[in-house]
Amino acid sequence: KPKAIIIGAGIAGIASAIRLSVKGYDVDVFEANSKPGGKLGEIKMNGFRFDAGPSLFTMPQYVDELFKLAGKNPEDYFKYTKLKEICRYFYEDGLRLNATADLDKFARDIEEKTHSTAAEVQRYLKKSDTIYEVTHRVFLERSLHKLKSYLHWDTLKSILRFGQIDAFRTQAKANRSFFKDERTAQLFNRYATYNGSDPYQAPATLNVIPHFEYHFGAFIPKDGMYGIVNALVKLAEELGIRFHYSQKVEEILYSSVGKPKIEGVKVNDKTHKADIVISNLDIWFTYKNLLKGITEPKKLLTQERSSSALIFYWGMDSNYSDLGLHNIFFAEDYQKEFNAIWKDKTVSSDPTVYINISAKYIRADAPANAENWFVMINVPANSGQNWDHLIKEARANIIKKISRILNRNIEKDIVCEQILDPRSIEGKTGSYQGALYGNSSNNQFSAFLRHANFSSKVKNLYFCGGSVHPGGGIPLALLSAKIIDDDISSVVQ
Ligand code: FAD
């Protein structure tokens, strides 16, 4: 059997391992941490369970597909529920909006409570559908770096429709033209943060993101987000894939006679041979630490990083009926918040606060009459800021803001706490500067400035995960594994 080695057991690494195993490879996965999942991790503390990273699950079909590929019934491994209520939005002026899966209801809620109309919402969502239709095959599902991608008739058709993807104005500008009420525009501007970008700089093409939530739906895995990792690792182990935890890869080995060709990896000074190597770690660290003697693609590696996050995991000794699974408490001045992040590289004094409470659905995630709060704000990637000071300030500002809007002192309910910041995100998951999604998408060319899923310098070396094409977030990380899979089939046959 040909042999494949995967470096990193992040979601894309696990997906790549399953795909190659199904293809007939003998697969080993080396993971630096003692557990799989990478950013998709889990924290347990004082009877509370928290998903450490991602909390919003979209495009579950990409996970199901992996079980089907292996000839299994996804439901035997992995169950999830479609959310009827997607997110509760809270504004400083007292406005509360509910984004529901029933789009007519959502549009009516906006019409009743703001100066925007239901028709504006419908027009906007239609535009979002169109952008998806035009972009998904070209920018998401295929390599942007292979000629054969451009030879498909549907790719060519999409390219002819590029005028419709709204690439030449910013998302914030476009949304101000869609909605009379600034607060509605703010709600949809927020989607730029789903890939760590700034709606005041990023192209309006990012208005494709709501399509994932409102068209395909938002979901919650029955066993929490970490349930995705557990289910996929179970499948992988059944397929015979070997996971080696706490085994940090030190070097990618290749032959330097003629055109460089992959030979294997070095772990703890020991050589492990392989026909194919797929690196799931941040492309920046892949070049800096693992690929000796290979010239770095400087332009790609020096792109602006996506934003990072500051997260407080709070065990709360109470129930909050005002809150749902996903909750957003908006900044009063959204542009000021993004200027703080992107221009001043600091944390706004009035940040938008996201609170996820998985215990609303998964009772076992918190003790009785208690809730597990994942409280997150967007912050810049780490460039040496005084994080200890910023965290102290942000914590106080967040507590004041939530207490003010809910009209209730939340601080007295916090019974235990852990904190994750850009420094620890880099330390725990190997993401350069703690960026959540690799590079930002703050300009029209970002999609073209992500690294390809293959190496043009070393034969049979591939790259998957959120820092390479097609980008960050679970669905796109899973697609990176699929794109590699498509490429390898043609290499091996
Ligand atoms: P990563 O998770 O980056 O994992 C890489 C793995 O490689 C790690 O396990 C690391 O330990 C390992 N590694 C590194 N170096 C080595 C080495 N030398 N040898 C061996 N192993 C190594 N996405 C969503 O879809 N929805 C969300 O709601 C969402 N929210 C997020 C919130 C937070 C706080 C964070 C951090 C991320 C969020 N994301 C979200 C993004 C999502 O988590 C990532 O895009 C995705 O999990 C990235 O997966 P990956 O395959 O790139 O691997």
Asked if the model's pLDDT at residue 89 lies above 70, the reply is: yes
* Contact 7 CB / ligand 1 (< 6 Å): yes
pLDDT of residue 13: 98
pLDDT of residue 150: 77
Closest ligand 1 atom number to CA of residue 289: 18
Q: Ligand 1 centroid vs 428 CA: distance in angstroms? A: 10
Interaxial angle between packed helices 11-22 and 61-69, expressed in degrees from 0 to 180 and rounded to the nearest 10: 30
Closest ligand 1 atom number to CA of residue 13: 51
* Contact 142 CB / ligand 1 (< 6 Å): no
From 39, 483, 484, give the residue whose CB has the most ligand 1 atoms within 8 Å, as the site to mutate: 39
Percent of the chain with pLDDT over 90: 90
* Contact 471 CB / ligand 1 (< 6 Å): no
Q: Ligand 1 centroid vs 85 CA: distance in angstroms? A: 26
pLDDT of residue 201: 97
Residue among 4, 5, 7 nearest 33 (CA): 7
pLDDT of residue 242: 98
Write out pLDDT tens, residues 272-287: 999 999 999 999 999 9
Average pLDDT over residues 82-106: 98
Quote the ipTM score: 0.99
CATH superfamily of 3-38+224-303+450-492: FAD/NAD(P)-binding domain (3.50.50.60)
Q: What residues does 262 pair with on adjacent strands?
A: 254
Sheet holding 242-244, edge to edge: 242-244, 26-30, 3-7, 276-279, 461-463
Start-to-end Cα distance in the chain: 14
Q: Mean pLDDT score of the chain, rounded to an integer?
A: 95
pLDDT of residue 491: 45
* Contact 16 CB / ligand 1 (< 6 Å): no
Percent of the chain with pLDDT over 70: 99
Asked if the model's pLDDT at residue 141 lies above 90, the reply is: no
Domain boundaries, the chain: 3-38+224-303+450-492, 112-215
CA 369 → CA 320, 381, 408, distances in Å?
Answer: 10, 36, 17
In the block, residue with structure tokens 């005002």: 322
Closest ligand 1 atom number to CA of residue 285: 15
* Cα angle 21-27-29, degrees, rounded to a multiple of 5: 125
Q: Whose CA is nearest to atom 45 of ligand 1?
A: 473
